[in-house]
A and B are shown apart, each in its own frame.
Chain A
Amino acid sequence: MTTAAAATAAPDGALPGPGRTHGRALRTLVRNPMGVAGGILLLIVVLAGVLAPLLAPGPPTEVHFSTPFQQPATVGFPLGTDDLGRDILSRVLYGTRASLEVGVLSVLLAVVAGVPLGLLAGYWRWLDALVSRLADLMLAFPFLILAVGLAAINGGGLGNAAIALGIANVPAMIRVVRAETLRLAEADFVLAAHAMDAGPLRVLGRHILPNALSAIIVQATLVMPAAVLGEAVLSFLGLGIQPPDPSLGIMLSDAQNYLLRTPWPGVFPGLAIALICLGFNLFGDALRDALDPRTSGSGERS
């Protein structure tokens, strides 16, 4: 295998860009039909969210008391209107945008808080006891109770929902990063770094973190759909985004009051939530398969 690898590497004199590992991961990803499907779905969802102001036929909060409960495919209202005559398409687009905002913010929070704590816990044994018990404590708390508490203290709103969901996802991130750090701290190349008197900052920042990055990315793609769902749950309960701001959760909550009269105001936000989560989950699974060296076919033994 080694000779074969050398032979294939030798002729292409022009060297590939940063990391052939990434090239290989990308190729594995592209070959996975589920991953491609997830990626396309994600692209559509993200574009819909980002371009919501351009795509939406009207403002999401504009009411038309003369035309409530319109059916989908009505002129002027492609997906119909709700009880107040608000355009459902506009509200779904803006709601998706809000969901993604909450998702991205809580992923950022989970990464910013979880990654350093995980690195520290994995690297220093004495800190591990402290950090890991803290993580256990947080895991023992249902995130909904945490969110209710935060909403009670700070009031609702997009930012607070993101903070509550981010904090809820910190312990899982700590565990993933800690496990990777424990594994990598035993690696020979880290030992070699110690032998050249590299300090902990260098070992953690230059060696362990870059090598743990793929695990962090995969964990982030798992946090994202959970946060999107979480936002919908919180808003449904009135603890997240506050009306009249559009949110998929609020739309569901409103729609259930007159579900028997017309199901459409509930169907479309529900579909949107399902598609966002499906996109992230499919893409995340494929990404994990592609980044995991054990599944990316590192070559058979002779």
Chain B
Amino acid sequence: MTLLEVANLSVSFGATPAVRGAELTLMPGERVAVVGESGSGKSTLAHAVMGLLPGSGRVTGGTIRLRGEDVVRAPEKRLRQLRGRAVGLVPQDPMTNLNPVTRVGRQVAETLLAHGLAGRREAPGRAVELLAQAGLPEPGRRARQYPHELSGGQRQRVLIAIGLACRPDLLIADEPTSALDVTVQQQILDHLDGLTRELGTALLLITHDLGLAADRADRVVVMSRGAVVETGPARQVLGSPRHEYTRRLVAAAPSLGATVRERTPGPGAAPGAARPPAAAARPPAAAAGPLLAVEHVTKEYRLRGGARFRAVDDVSFTVGHGRTTAFVGESGSGKTTTARMVLGLLEPTGGTVRLDGAPVSGAATARGPARRAARRAMQPVFQDPYASLDPMFTVERLIAEPLTVFGVGDRDERRARVARLLDQVALPADVARRYPNELSGGQRQRVAIARALALEPRLVVCDEPVSALDVLVQDQILRLLRSLQDELGIGYLFISHDLAVVRALAHDVVVMRAGRVVERGPVDAVLGAPSDPYTRQLLAAVPGAGLTHRP
């Protein structure tokens, strides 16, 4: 008997359709992944199954049957019984989905009490058992702690304990690990896998990550614009996709095993004749050395109580002219701190940062012309294109701002330059008069890139520039960064947690862990034959091994 049967389901928010005629079946114990980009309706589908559509969401057609029972027409009272009891949910964001003022053990116990599965007396004990089952270390002590005392991974384990507390037949996991580091993600998913198998729970995994879907699901459902475009066994759908959208999605997904891009030749060997003025303007004397040299850089923070914390500890690396050095590490590894020191936004505690031989940091250049020159030669692109563009500025003003600050050209020249830059990042000219909130995430990131290029910098520091973007858009932005490098001879310091993205773009890799460099070298050497155990662990944790060996 089928556990879940969704037939011809349509959901609308007001007049806007979010899901159109979706079909989905789930057998007991089966693991199905719903894959799609943001806005594809995958989360809405999951919420509809739980009877938890937010705001103005309404089921406008079709049926959802859970063990033969119609969920769409079920009264709220019955739905409350089903939620938790028959269907468990592991939500996306472990940071906001736990009550910050209640101990985690109590939050698990409340679920049990709400469904009458335990009495007041035994609930706390059961909660500790459940936390232990979810793989939380020292569950007895952790149960008495508050959410802020736990790490992201530990909080996600608490949410898993809550989701599985009532032994539901179906567990819906909505992007359960997208807020977590890869190695933690792997541990959590391994555990979730084992647990659902052991309990015979069916799993509906909502994810944007094709690799994850391939690794963790028996069947994959691909959604696009609210409709299911392809369904089938995971390996078959992602290995040899039939639908055009799935094909594009699979092609765009950066993969560790995918053919490495044709990278620009090494330093100096770049196509010299075709060099635009940007690269030609480079001081000739500097061409010999590296573009950026970071030597023994350290950043210490003083903690309360006088203790010191080394966020970055003796880090050294270089970025060559027209080359890309990728900076890889998990959250808290000191990647972003290092990037800010390179940009001269943070003062290092020790060590030097040199751009073309000229020191960027240090008291001597804390302000004045040297810093100004360094900043002109070096521009950032940030992770979140929604936060990095001032919402009150038009695109034209945004891109022209660095030109205004540096007094480059007059108004008309700046306008012409903005038009050229927009063209370079493949945005239509009429975007110039729009505001950032009228643009999509990918378009915004293109604007941010155009702004970074406005001053014809020699180095662009990209801090996770594609991690907030959907797979297809991510692929487009990576291509853009690549072609801009080939065209303009810019060097990139590319910070990322995603090894597959790094593989696709970088020449050299620096692997960071807890503020220290654990391994560095050419990308093929480091990712192909890692010598450090941590690098190996990182590589092994990347989902999508199933995709790598596709025919």
Which A positions have Cβ atoms within 8 angstroms of B? 1-6, 9, 13, 15, 19-21, 187-189, 191-198, 202, 206-207, 210-211, 300-302
Contact = CB atoms under 8 A, between A and B. Distances in A.
Nearest to B42: A302
B534 interface: no
A67 B54 CA distance: 66
Nearest to A196: B402
Contacts of A20: 435, 437-438
A6 B38 CA distance: 13
Interface of B: 13, 16, 18, 36-44, 54-55, 57, 225, 343-345, 371-372, 375-376, 378-380, 382-384, 387-392, 401-402, 405-406, 430, 433-435, 437-443, 448, 451, 455, 470
Nearest to B454: A196
Contacts of A6: 439-440, 443
A253 to B, nearest CB: 47
B380 A191 contact: yes
Contacts of B378: 195
Given A2-B440, A15-B430, A20-B437, A189 B38 contact: no
A207 B390 contact: yes
7 contacts: A20-B438, A192-B380, A192-B388, A192-B448, A197-B372, A300-B13, A302-B39
Given A192-B451, A211-B390, A2 B437 contact: no
A189 B440 contact: no
A266 B44 CA distance: 59
Contact of A5 (B54, B372, B388, B438): B438
B343 to A, nearest CB: 5
B405 A188 contact: no
Contacts of B372: 197
A2 B225 CA distance: 12
A209 to B, nearest CB: 10
A13 B430 contact: yes
B440 A300 contact: no
Nearest to A297: B55
A301 B43 contact: yes
A5 B38 contact: no
A247 B482 CA distance: 71
Contact of A189 (B16, B390, B402, B430): B390
B440 A3 contact: yes
Contact of A9 (B389, B439, B455): B439
Contact of B16 (A4, A21, A196): A4
A188 B388 contact: yes
Contacts of B443: 6
Contact of A197 (B57, B376, B383): B376
A1 B16 CA distance: 11
Contact of B401 (A188, A191, A198, A300): A198
Given A6-B443, A196-B375, A197-B371, A19 B435 contact: yes
Contacts of A195: 343-345, 375, 378-380
B387 A187 contact: yes
B174 to A, nearest CB: 10
Given A15-B434, A19-B392, A189-B388, A196 B13 contact: no
A196 B438 contact: no
A189 B389 contact: yes
A198 B405 contact: yes
Nearest to B18: A302
A16 to B, nearest CB: 8
A193 B401 contact: yes
A206 B405 CA distance: 12
Nearest to B389: A189
Contacts of A9: 434, 438-439
Nearest to A15: B433
A253 B413 CA distance: 66
A108 B25 CA distance: 64
Nearest to B434: A15
A-B residue pairs, 7 tightest by C-beta: A188-B388, A196-B402, A6-B440, A188-B387, A2-B440, A197-B375, A189-B390
Contacts of B406: 196-197
Contacts of A300: 13, 54-55, 57
A292 to B, nearest CB: 14
B327 to A, nearest CB: 17
A202 B407 CA distance: 13
B439 to A, nearest CB: 7
Nearest to B443: A6
Contacts of A202: 405
Contacts of B40: 302
A267 B42 CA distance: 61
A3 B39 contact: yes
A192 to B, nearest CB: 6
Contact of B382 (A15, A191, A207, A301): A191
A2 B371 contact: no
B392 A210 contact: yes
Contact of A2 (B382, B405, B434, B441): B441
A196 B38 contact: no
Nearest to A213: B392
